[in-house]
Amino acid sequence: MSNRRKFLQFSLLGGMGLLARKTGFARSEETFPTITGKPVVISTWDAGLAANKGAWEVLGKGGRALDAVEKGVNVTEASQNCCVGLGANPDRDGFVTLDACIMDEFANCGSVAFLERIKHPVSVARRVMEKTPHVMLVGSGAQQFAVAEGFPLEEQKLSPEAQAAYSNWLKNSTYHPPAINVENKANHDHGPFAPYKLENGEWNHDTIGMVAMDTFGNLSGSCTTSGAGFKMRGRLGDSPIIGAGLFVDNEVGACTATGQGEDVIRIAGSHTVVELMRQGLSPEAACKKAIERVARKVKPERVKEIQVAFLAINKKGKVGAWALHPGFSYAIKSNDREEMVTSGSMFNS
């Protein structure tokens, strides 16, 4: 997780953005240049670099953005990442449950949630989109569909890293759900839960969200996660919800979200960003406005406890991101760029 904070590469301008935040200046919204030339793919957090490479195997050959965003995040799902795929941290009962969705340029979309023992939830989401009249399948029904579609049922076993993290978590079984917005709603109502903000100040979040534009100028997106580590059994965040964790409108742009899912859902986050771009805002300005809306909906004392970030692309291939707090970065790959970029944020810490 801490690797996400170690940005592998900075563009000169990205570095300047960080400097600006440290010195208290807001970063100009035009800091990052328009990407000229398709294709382009962007994805959340450090794992995005490898995922973008996977996507590029499709995009670089002139392939379709939909195929690219599936193949790209498959890379992360297959890695033993703490927060994506079967190597991820379990829920508080010790089971890994996965959420994913995918959306194409025709507004076709598919989603799975609370899915267990399947290695590539995003690919199951694509099958839901392509082979059923529905958008979303959950739990045992999603698993049954996956098996019927030929996806192998993997062993129910935690990775060594997840087992160690779970054993450690069980020592205190801490419950601090910062998303609860209702006065006097006792945090312990629902039993133990993991804090989103770790004691070392890092955010206990990870998800891979990816959006891409292909050589035809068409947009698609995908999002896949294990959600919050040690979550309540059955909890879903924003990631599998079309309009919250992901939204694509091929006339306008595409957006994906990461961070505190409950607060992304509250404002229909990714859809909001796309609608703001429709009104003429740049991707970064749209992400920023949506983040401000998240902050307005959360009690001031809770806003320090959560992280939310949006990452967007518009129809011109211009990309942008914004987060509540520093520490969010995204990976970009185009014909002439392959690097991590540091997002600006609403707060300085």
Q: Counting contacts by CB under 6 A, is residue 227 touching ligand ASP?
A: yes
Q: Counting contacts by CB under 6 A, is residue 89 touching ligand ASP?
A: no
Q: Counting contacts by CB under 6 A, is residue 207 touching ligand ASP?
A: yes
Nearest CB to ligand ASP, comparing residues 89 and 250 = 89
**225 catalytic residue (yes or no):** no
Smallest separation, CB 312 to ligand ASP (Å): 15
| 253 within 8 A of 314, measured Cβ to Cβ | yes
Q: Counting contacts by CB under 6 A, is residue 243 touching ligand ASP?
A: no
Q: How far apart are CA 108 and CA 128, in angstroms?
A: 10
Nearest CB to ligand ASP, comparing residues 228 and 323 = 228
Partner residues linked to 322 by β-bridges: 310, 344
How far CA 170 is from CA of 93, 98, 165, 179, 234, in Å, comes to 10, 21, 9, 22, 18
- Choice from 89, 250, 258, 345 touching ligand ASP (CB under 6 A): 258
Nearest CB to ligand ASP, comparing residues 262 and 284 = 262
Provide the pairing of β-strand 344-345 with 319-323.
parallel
Q: Which burial class, exposed, middle or buried, applies to 280 when counting CB atoms under 10 A from its CB (0-12, 13-18, 19+)?
A: exposed
Nearest CB to ligand ASP, comparing residues 58 and 321 = 321
Nearest CB to ligand ASP, comparing residues 41 and 194 = 194
- Choice from 21, 120, 127, 205 touching ligand ASP (CB under 6 A): 205
Beta strands in 126-281 (DSSP E): 136-138, 208-213, 219-225, 246-249, 253-259
- Choice from 104, 105, 238, 284 touching ligand ASP (CB under 6 A): 238
Q: Which burial class, exposed, middle or buried, applies to 19 when counting CB atoms under 10 A from its CB (0-12, 13-18, 19+)?
A: exposed
- Please tell me which residue in 97, 207, 256, 258 is annotated as part of the active site: 207
Closest to 98 (Cα-Cα) out of 237, 244, 306: 237
Which residues, numbered 289-308, are part of the site for ligand ASP (CB under 6 A)?
A: none
- Choice from 87, 237, 253, 326 touching ligand ASP (CB under 6 A): 237
Smallest separation, CB 225 to ligand ASP (Å): 5
Residues with Cβ within 8 Å of 254's Cβ and at least 6 positions away in sequence, in order, are 103, 211, 219, 220, 221, 246, 247, 248, 274, 312, 313
The catalytic residues are 207
Residues in contact with ligand ASP by the rule CB under 6 A? 205-207, 225, 227-228, 237-239, 258-259, 261
